[in-house]
Structure 1
Amino acid sequence: MHKPEPRLQRKLLVLLLVPLLALLALDAAAAWWTSVRLANLAYDRSLHEIAREIVLHVRVEDGRPRLDLSQGAADVLLRDPQDRLSFRLAAEDGTVLGGDPDIVPALLAPGAPPRYFGDQLHDEPVRFVEAWMPASERAASPRVLIQVAETLNKRNTLAWEMLLSIVAPQLLLILIATFIVWFGVKRGLAPLARLRRAVSDRSHLDLSPLATDNVPGEVRPLVDEVNDLMSRLGRTFEFQNRFVADAAHQLKTPVSGLKAQIELALRESDPERLRHAIAQLYVSADRLSRLVRQLLSLARNEPGALDAVQLQPLDLDAFALQVGMDWVPQAIRRGIDLGFEGVRRPMMIAAEPDRLRELINNLIDNAIRYSERDGRVTVRVSETDADHVQLAISDDGPAIPVVERARVFERFHRLLGTPEDGSGLGLAIASEIATLHKARITLEEDSDGVGNTFSVIFPKA
């Protein structure tokens, strides 16, 4: 079964109107209680007067009271166009002097004040008055107990009239308030409706910020967050598009070369030349594999392409030594003297180990690749000041001209006349990783005037 979706407008109306209706119900209950009480106060006086009039027809003979009430007089006293009246009159000794025998004898103590209460008589709700009254005006006159019961028709009619006079204006006010609240909520939520239309009418390619004109303060944070999300999505799409364009541009040439070499190998019948063609294919495939790895690494390290890099405390001195040791076999094969100069104490920085390893690998690979045979590459860790640590990698390769030093960190940029194969991505990847670590990468001439020195300056952890 489909669950109805929550609606803010409906929820606001319920939260605002339900308390009003609850207050109206409580007020109506209080008004009904007050109306019944006032109606009883008004008609109880009349009921007491009827009781007193009945007692006036009592005669005292030989010290004993006797009711002298003709049927005509009783009809006059007990006549009421809306209600039915009944009475019971008794002497102090309990002798019934007249009235309705179905009325239960009262338990009112002699001398107690009159009592008013509700009860049942002939299966109808009635209002009773009970009172002790003197049978005559003489001082030693005996007392009689008079009980008069009256049905509740005119009392209820009066109570309802008072209730309606109180509740009807309030109900009208509630209806007016309901309309005002509904209109106010609808008007107040209009910016959300405009925001919904602004988003739904957009193309999936339109990531421009939403307009914030006439946006209420309560909705403004939501619009700002949506605009921030669109900005981040725009950067992500830009990174993806740039990666796709770079990959398509860079992979086109090596793939075409592989196809050409495969076609040549397929035409060869001489085993020796076929073996040579396959060896060339292996070299080309290895270059293509390295290019793909670098493209993926470049995409992974785009600033803003990921939510956050999980940095952790890391000893740069020990870590750089460990990474440098992995390059010793490669340096020996090329006849390169790979050395390390550290500070022999922890140099703590905030880093992500895998990315930092990739940065150092790219810089060492670049230094070994472009150094002359029997050259020298040095990995150096030092403390520049109280707040920064420097990782420097020096080589004996061709000095990069000053005008080219700023461009070597650009993607796919390679110096003209460079004999080594490369994609021009290694230094770009190193630069992106340095940015993710809030570090600064620079290129300068080596201190001995031969080769280049790449320096990465990290803030201390």
Structure 2
Amino acid sequence: MKRSSPLRPSLRRRLLVFLLIPMAVLLLLDALLSYGVALTYANRVHDRDLGGDALTLAKMLGKDPHGGRLTPQARFLLEYDPVGRSYFSVSSSRHGLLAGDGRLARLVAASVPDATPTLYNTRLDGHTLRAADVRVTTADDPGDSLTVVVAETLRDRHEQAREILLLAVVMQTFLIACVLSLVWFGVSRGLRVLEPLTARLASRSDELAPIDGPDVPQEIQPLTRTIDALFGRLRGMLALHDRFIADAAHQLRTPLAGLSLHVDRALADPRPETLSDAFDHIQRLTRRAARTSSQLLALTRAQAAPADTGDYRLLDLARLIPEAVSQRVYEAIRAGVDLGYEGRQEPLYILGDAAGLQDLLDNLIDNAVRYAGRGSDITVRLQARDGGGATLSVEDNGPGVPTELLPRLSERFFRVGGSQEQGSGLGLAIVRRIAGRHHAEVVFRNGQERGLRVDVHFPPPPAALTSTA
């Protein structure tokens, strides 16, 4: 069975949902409010009519010489109600109930004669009634008074309120449908502003230039800026890739050509002395190619790593640097070099990457061992800086470097002329790159008497981290 693909998100659908739900809630609240307003209006109209009916009937009966007697026709008209039920009662203060429902008369409180009608709610036969009573004096007997009560059920009021609500809901629903249609049309038209950007991206092949421009809406500028930042990182990675290929081709061309030459020489002359000399050259060239390759990879890793990374942690250089130096002692002895360490015993913290610092120190020591020569002294020092931070120094007593060439020592493939050592010219470039990732400064200077000294000044770590160390 073929599985259906998941529904892709849609801006139009999302906007409509965000608008439809609040509008539905507003429609419901508006319906409740409209019903309340309509019921209030219906109650006001019916109360006015009910009070007017009671007052009119009372005045008419008060002037009647028959003493408030109702004809059958009048009784029918008072009780007739096509949508509900009406009640009435007429009572005399001297003669008691004259007409109507006596139960209704018993519910009437004493009222002031010839006053305005009194409106109130009451219950009768299980129905809630709205009643109006009025008291008037009779014309033929000033000592007597008539109390007239007219009441009706609430059915008619609610029926009218529902009719008003239905009309309002129909109109408001139609209005909301029109608004949503306009929103759909507006969103569709508004999203067309993205078409130039889409066409511009579709026309590209391998171009990684920024896509942000004056025609990009400000609402999607965060997206375009993020894409531009990604393009920038990709351009950097591609440039780094191209540079690595060019550097590898440039640096490995000479040793590979030498290897081919000495292999041909060994094949052409099989004498033992020729083979021995050729194999000796092949071994040196192989080591040179291997070192150059490893240095190129190290430089590429250092260049590709971001300047700020969450993997950095608090490192104690007073413990890390002596351990790293001790790992190079036997190699220095084989090279005829006296490698020593001078530093403090108290903890000295920086924020960094332990593997990167190991590569930095190894390249500084390799550079010193290679160019200082046999019989030289190399000293690794660790000192605290004024104001916080640390300074890592590697100093040798070799031939040193001319002062005018010191600023070029960290350039890729730069080597001081006259040196007998075959290096790649990448070690100090790697050092500067790793130091830059740690926001550290690299300073090259000649020793007090002779030799070269390289200082790496590390900034202090954040106070919040040192307080928890």
Instruction: Give the 5 Å matches for 1:57-456.
Output: 67=69, 69-71=71-73, 87=88, 106-109=105-108, 111-112=110-111, 114-115=118-119, 117=121, 129=132, 137-141=140-144, 143=146, 146-147=149-150, 149=152, 171=172, 178=179, 182=183, 186=187, 193=194, 197=198, 201=202, 203=204, 205-211=206-212, 213=214, 224-247=225-248, 249-250=250-251, 286-302=287-303, 305=306, 307-308=308-309, 310-314=311-315, 316=317, 319-342=320-343, 348-382=349-383, 389-415=390-416, 418-449=419-450, 451-456=451-456
> What displacement does 1:329 show?
1.4
1-side partners of 2:63 and 2:385: how far apart?
123
1:406 is paired with a residue of what secondary structure? helix
Select which of 36, 49, 58 maps to 1:43: 49
1-side partners of 2:297 and 2:437: how far apart?
16
CA pair 231-142 structure 1, distance change in 2 beyond 3 A:
same
> What displacement does 1:429 show?
1.0
Aligned position for 1:32: 38
Structure 1, 240-249 or 80-89: larger mean CA deviation: 80-89
| Identical residues among aligned pairs (%) | 27
CA pair 273-307 structure 1, distance change in 2 beyond 3 A:
same
1:258-286 deviations in Å (ceiling 9; x for gaps): 78888999999999999998887776655
> What displacement does 1:48 show?
1.3
**Which amino acid in 2 is paired with 1:108?**
L
2-side partners of 1:314 and 1:79: how far apart?
99
1:22-75 deviations in Å (ceiling 9; x for gaps): 553344123212221222123213431564378469877xxxx7835154x556
Give the root-mean-square deviation of aligned CA atoms. 5.4
* Unpaired stretches in structure 1, ≥5 consecutive residues: none
> What displacement does 1:12 show?
5.4
1-side partners of 2:424 and 2:379: how far apart?
24
Whether the aligned pair in 1 keeps the contact of 2:108 and 2:133 (CA below 8 Å) is no
CA pair 169-385 structure 1, distance change in 2 beyond 3 A:
same
Count of equivalent residues: 450
1:67-119 deviations in Å (ceiling 9; x for gaps): 35154x556777899998665656779987556x8x96554146357555587
Select which of 53, 58, 72 maps to 1:52: 58
Q: Which has the higher helix share?
A: 2
Aligned position for 1:5: 9
> What displacement does 1:330 show?
1.6
> What displacement does 1:138 show?
0.9
**Which amino acid in 2 is paired with 1:138?**
D
2:373 is paired with a residue of what secondary structure? coil
Whether the aligned pair in 1 keeps the contact of 2:337 and 2:369 (CA below 8 Å) is yes
CA pair 13-188 structure 1, distance change in 2 beyond 3 A:
farther
**Which amino acid in 1 is paired with 2:292?**
L
Whether the aligned pair in 2 keeps the contact of 1:303 and 1:435 (CA below 8 Å) is no
Aligned position for 2:467: none
**Which amino acid in 2 is paired with 1:34?**
T
2-side partners of 1:381 and 1:82: how far apart?
103
1:216-246 deviations in Å (ceiling 9; x for gaps): 7776556555544443443344334433443
Q: What is the TM-score normalised by the length of structure 1?
A: 0.70
1:294 is paired with a residue of what secondary structure? helix
**Which amino acid in 2 is paired with 1:301?**
A
2-side partners of 1:444 and 1:346: how far apart?
27
> What displacement does 1:140 show?
3.7
